[in-house]
């Protein structure tokens, strides 16, 4: 047996033949594609590509929202020995252009949501030679944009037409496709997945059939899921976590994928999430901390509208549930019977209703992409829909470790998945003991082949087959991996001591009432500062109700909010004093993808935030951090609140 994802699909088409593999929403309802149908249609698309003159190793960019045809066409590309280049729909045209040129793409698959942005990226004569493929039917409405971009509308290939052409030619290309598949080995590249580019130009991560095959099989050993279980994918398919689990790992156990309805663009997709969850009624879901944090806040806001009695019961039940659960791995030997009763009442009256936000079947969620704050883990476990933190990075295809329903521990990233070696090393590469912090280093079949056209960067991170992740962490006494942050995002004190800011930032945002985003900063300074984004609407309410009146009161409010986490039981005495911000700089607007301070995977781009606020941050050190009422903050308050 070839250890390829094509073989995974062939086996799934045989084992789970008529089970729904892919599901997307249309005007009629949910359109399902079975495993057998997906395999058959991918063969049609592969035949059409061969008929059109495409060949082994040709690269195809995919710029579209998650949908059935994304998966089918990607497999079609792989079946001719081609390579996929998944792109985020949130990229800017110039970012798309870089990736197309760097990868040397011959084709580009787009949808009605992305075709205009795609055309803006095709600016050079060489890029205009790229063959466009269109997923939707309504191409005529883009005739003007195509003409302005120097593209002939008649030369854009419609996916639905290619399925038909390929179906007719299946027998003609049957032997050629079989020969190509025999040629495809485990080290053949499947995708070139570009990093989000938080520092410098993005690097193209080459992931192979063996990478995906091994990571999919190893990860699926970790979770108690089975044929027909429904998986809701809210994350975009270019996200490595969604790509591996949503496309390939589902083949191992016959899972059924549901895509969020993204017709009309990203804003519609966000609005459709609650309705789609109820309709799809999934058993589990892939998510990221930003999304679960939003769910948590919405739940809390909803409870707050039900009156003081419900609010008090909710809070008491939550506290009791958190105590009963302990850290998930170690539970307290005894819990007062009164608390158990409070928890049962809150569970029946409130928590079960909150669960219905996810439908009636949700067993758990799996979080990746960034550190999932412990308060979120405690919250969702208490209400009965646990969110299990995992850890990985695209260079590892991406899953390295995970908590799961059988074994989990809050505040950790779980156990390392089977068939993967993991160690913690110091700056000299020496392996550290349990509990000692250092760089996370892994070895296994899931480690990328390397960075495309970048052997220097490859050799920097892969040494003797070990992948140096650039992430910091330690193995705790129970065998759980604890990730503490990125090495490159470290705070550095004046005496050279280093510390990861993510934990403090999560603590601030999760406990603050008036702070929605924060970047903690220290670059060899005597104390720590922060850039703070405030909840404008909440502060405006206080001003309108005359609970506060002037700039000093606003700044005092935010100052207290910034250290509110110190009185929260999950964070009390957790962070050394020197890394807690002494002074802050107010941001004039939220960190967003539009101002480039958030990347396509919803992570903060620290160097972009620093570019904008470097001057006021430096100025804050001049007065030795003695006050927040400095010139920048005064001007920002005037701009935001007109006072």
Q: Which residue has the higher pLDDT, 146 or 603?
A: 146
Beta strands in 68-121, from DSSP E residues, in sequence order: 83-87, 105-110
Here the contacts of 362-366 (C-beta below 8 Å, separation 24 or greater) are 362/282, 362/283, 362/284, 362/285, 363/283, 363/284, 363/405, 364/284, 364/388, 364/405, 365/284, 365/285, 365/286, 365/287, 365/292, 366/223, 366/245, 366/284, 366/285, 366/286, 366/287, 366/390, 366/402
Q: Which residue has the higher pLDDT, 556 or 621?
A: 556
236-247 average pLDDT score: 93
pLDDT given for residue 626 in this prediction? 59
Domain 490-641: assigned CATH number: 3.30.300.30
Residue ranges per domain, the chain? 29-184, 490-641
600-615 average pLDDT score: 84
| Cα–Cα nearest to 354, from 275, 301, 424, 288 | 301
Query: Mean pLDDT score of the chain, rounded to an integer?
Result: 93
For residue 535, is pLDDT > 90?
Answer: yes
Helix axes of 5-15 and 209-220: crossing angle, nearest 10 degrees: 50
Residue 69: which residues within 8 A CB-CB, separation 6 or more? Answer: 135, 159
In degrees and rounded to multiples of 5, residue 629 shows phi and psi of -85, 60
Domain range 29-184, CATH architecture: 3-Layer(aba) Sandwich (3.40)
Q: H helices of 194-249, where? A: 209-220, 240-242
pLDDT given for residue 199 in this prediction? 44
Q: Residue 531 gets which letter from DSSP?
A: E
Q: Residue 433 gets which letter from DSSP?
A: P
> Which of 19-23, 150-154, 426-430 shows the highest mean pLDDT?
19-23
| Cα–Cα nearest to 446, from 499, 393, 369 | 393
Q: What percent of the chain has pLDDT over 90?
A: 77
Q: Are 387 and 366 in contact (CB under 8 A)?
A: yes
Q: How far apart are CA 251 and CA 15, in angstroms?
A: 10
| Cα–Cα nearest to 560, from 617, 511, 518, 525 | 511
327-337 average pLDDT score: 96
By the 10 Å C-beta count (0-12 exposed, 13-18 middle, 19+ buried), 337 is classed as exposed
In degrees and rounded to multiples of 5, residue 415 shows phi and psi of -90, 150
For residue 200, is pLDDT > 60?
Answer: no
pLDDT given for residue 400 in this prediction? 97
Buried b (16+ CB within 10 A) or exposed e, 316-334: bbbbbbbbebebbbeeeee
Cα 274–chain centre separation: 19
Q: Give the Cβ contact number of residue 133 at 10 Å.
A: 26
Among the residue ranges 65-74, 243-252, 273-282, 492-501, the one predicted with the least confidence is 492-501
Q: How far apart are CA 32 and CA 230, in angstroms?
A: 12
Q: Are 282 and 43 in contact (CB under 8 A)?
A: no
Q: How far apart are CA 284 and CA 366, in angstroms?
A: 8
Q: Tell me the pLDDT tens digit for each residue of 496-511.
A: 677 889 889 989 999 9
Q: With residue 388 as reference, give the H or E element that holds it.
A: strand 387-392
Cα–Cα distance list, 347 to 329, 393, 555 (Å): 21, 36, 39
Predicted structure pTM score: 0.84
pLDDT band at residue 492 using 50, 70 and 90 as cut-offs? confident
Helix axes of 289-304 and 502-511: crossing angle, nearest 10 degrees: 20
Q: Residue 643 gets which letter from DSSP?
A: -
Q: Tell me the pLDDT tens digit for each residue of 64-123.
A: 999 999 999 999 999 999 999 999 998 889 999 999 999 999 999 999 999 999 999 999
pLDDT band at residue 624 using 50, 70 and 90 as cut-offs? low
- Whether omega for the bond prior to residue 398 falls within 30 degrees of 0, making it cis, is yes
Q: Give the Cβ contact number of residue 513 at 10 Å.
A: 13
In degrees and rounded to multiples of 5, residue 134 shows phi and psi of -120, 125
138-160 average pLDDT score: 95
Q: Are 287 and 239 in contact (CB under 8 A)?
A: no
- Chain length of the chain: 643
Lateral strand order in the sheet of 515-521: 515-521, 529-534, 583-586
Q: H helices of 572-630, where? A: 606-622
Q: Are 414 and 391 in contact (CB under 8 A)?
A: yes
> On the CB side of 187, how many CA atoms lie within 13 Å of its CA?
2
pLDDT given for residue 623 in this prediction? 64
Structure tokens at 241: 């976590």
514-535 average pLDDT score: 93
DSSP symbols for 301-350: HHHHTT-HHHHHHHHHHHHHHHHHHTTSSS--S---HHHHHHHHHHIIII
Provide the terminal-to-terminal Cα distance of the chain, rounded to the nearest Å.
71
For residue 366, is pLDDT > 90?
Answer: yes
pLDDT given for residue 625 in this prediction? 53
- Intrachain domains 29-184 and 490-641 with the same fold: no
Q: How far apart are CA 286 and CA 247, in angstroms?
A: 13
pLDDT given for residue 574 in this prediction? 84
Lateral strand order in the sheet of 83-87: 157-158, 131-134, 105-110, 59-63, 83-87, 189-194, 204-208, 450-451
124-144 average pLDDT score: 95
Q: Give the Cβ contact number of residue 112 at 10 Å.
A: 19
Give Rg (Cα) of the chain.
26
pLDDT given for residue 198 in this prediction? 44
Among the residue ranges 187-196, 338-347, 613-622, the one predicted with the least confidence is 613-622
């Amino acid at each position: 047996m070839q250890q390829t994802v094509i073989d995974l699909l062939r086996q799934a088409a045989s084992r789970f033949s008529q089970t729904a593999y892919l599901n997307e929403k249309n005007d009629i309802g949910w359109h399902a594609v079975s495993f057998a149908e997906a395999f058959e249609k991918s063969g049609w698309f592969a035949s059409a590509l061969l008929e059109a003159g495409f060949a082994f190793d040709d690269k195809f960019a995919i710029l579209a929202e998650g949908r059935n045809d994304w998966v089918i066409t990607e497999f079609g590309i792989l079946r001719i020995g081609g390579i996929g280049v998944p792109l985020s729909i949130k990229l800017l045209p110039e970012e798309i252009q870089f990736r197309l040129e760097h990868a040397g793409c011959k084709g580009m698959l787009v949808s009605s949501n992305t075709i205009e942005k795609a055309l803006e990226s095709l600016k050079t004569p060489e890029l205009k030679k790229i063959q466009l493929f269109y997923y939707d039917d309504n191409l005529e409405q883009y005739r003007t944009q195509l003409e302005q971009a120097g593209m002939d509308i008649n030369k854009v290939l419609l996916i639905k037409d290619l399925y038909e052409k390929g179906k007719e030619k299946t027998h003609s290309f049957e032997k050629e496709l079989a020969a190509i598949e025999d040629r495809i080995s485990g080290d053949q590249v499947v995708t070139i997945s570009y990093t989000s580019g938080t520092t410098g130009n993005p690097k193209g991560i080459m992931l192979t059939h063996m990478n995906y095959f091994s990571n999919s099989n190893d990860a699926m050993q970790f979770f108690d899921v089975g044929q027909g279980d429904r998986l809701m994918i809210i994350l975009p398919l270019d996200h490595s976590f969604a790509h591996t689990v949503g496309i390939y790992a589902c083949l191992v156990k016959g899972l059924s994928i549901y895509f969020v309805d993204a017709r009309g663009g990203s804003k519609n997709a966000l609005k459709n999430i609650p309705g789609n969850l109820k309709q799809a009624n999934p058993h589990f879901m892939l998510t990221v901390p930003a999304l679960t944090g939003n769910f948590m806040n919405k739940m809390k806001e909803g409870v707050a509208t039900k009156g003081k009695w419900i609010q008090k019961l909710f809070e008491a039940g939550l506290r009791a549930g958190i105590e009963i659960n302990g850290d998930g791995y170690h539970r307290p030997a005894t819990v007062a019977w009164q608390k158990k009763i409070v928890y049962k009442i809150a569970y029946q009256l409130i928590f079960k209703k909150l669960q219905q936000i996810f439908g009636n079947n949700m067993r758990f969620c799996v979080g990746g992409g960034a550190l999932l704050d412990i308060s979120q883990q405690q919250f969702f476990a208490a209400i009965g829909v646990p969110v299990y933190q995992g850890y990985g990075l695209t260079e590892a295809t991406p899953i390295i470790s995970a908590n799961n329903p059988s074994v989990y521990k809050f505040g950790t990233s779980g156990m390392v998945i089977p068939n993967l070696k993991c160690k913690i090393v110091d700056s000299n590469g020496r392996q550290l003991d349990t509990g000692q912090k250092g760089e996370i280093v892994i070895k296994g079949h899931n480690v990328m082949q390397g960075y495309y056209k970048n052997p220097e960067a490859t050799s920097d991170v892969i040494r003797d087959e070990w992948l140096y992740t650039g992430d910091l962490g330690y193995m705790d006494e129970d065998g759980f991996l604890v990730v503490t942050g990125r090495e490159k995002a470290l705070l550095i004190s004046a005496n050279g001591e280093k510390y990861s800011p993510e934990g403090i930032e999560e603590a601030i945002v999760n406990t603050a009432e008036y702070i929605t985003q924060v970047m903690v900063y220290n670059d060899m300074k005597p104390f720590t500062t922060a850039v703070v984004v405030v909840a404008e609407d909440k502060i405006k309410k206080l001003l309108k109700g005359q609970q506060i009146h002037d700039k000093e009161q606003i700044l005092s409010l935010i100052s207290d909010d910034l250290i509110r986490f110190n009185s929260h039981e999950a964070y009390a005495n957790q962070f050394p004093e020197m890394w807690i911000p002494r002074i802050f700089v107010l941001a004039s607007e939220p960190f967003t993808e539009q101002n480039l301070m958030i990347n396509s995977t919803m992570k903060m781009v620290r160097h972009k935030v620093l570019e904008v606020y470097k001057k006021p941050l430096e100025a804050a050190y001049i007065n030795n951090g003695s006050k927040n009422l400095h010139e920048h903050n005064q001007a920002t308050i005037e701009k935001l609140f007109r006072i």
